[in-house]
Amino acid sequence: MTEPDRKLSKKAVIRGWAGTAAEILKWAFVAWLLWPIAELGKHRLSVGRVVAGICLFVVFAGKLFYDTLITEFVRQRRTSAKQDLVALLGMIGAMLLLAGIVAVMTGLLILQWQREAGAGMNP
Give how many domains the chain has, as a whole number: 1
Rounded to an integer, what is the distance from CA 22 to the centroid of its chain?
14
> Mean pLDDT over residues 92-117, rounded?
84
User: Residue 50 belongs to what domain range?
Assistant: 3-121
Using CB atoms within 10 A of its CB, is residue 95 exposed (0-12), middle (13-18) or buried (19+)?
middle
Residues 6+ apart with CB under 8 A from 66: 91
The residue among 3 and 50 whose pLDDT is bigger is 50
> Mean pLDDT over residues 58-82, rounded?
76
Using CB atoms within 10 A of its CB, is residue 32 exposed (0-12), middle (13-18) or buried (19+)?
exposed
Closest by CA position to 60, among listed 36, 15, 103, 24: 24
Confirm whether pTM is higher than 0.75.
no
Please give the DSSP secondary-structure letter assigned to residue 43: S
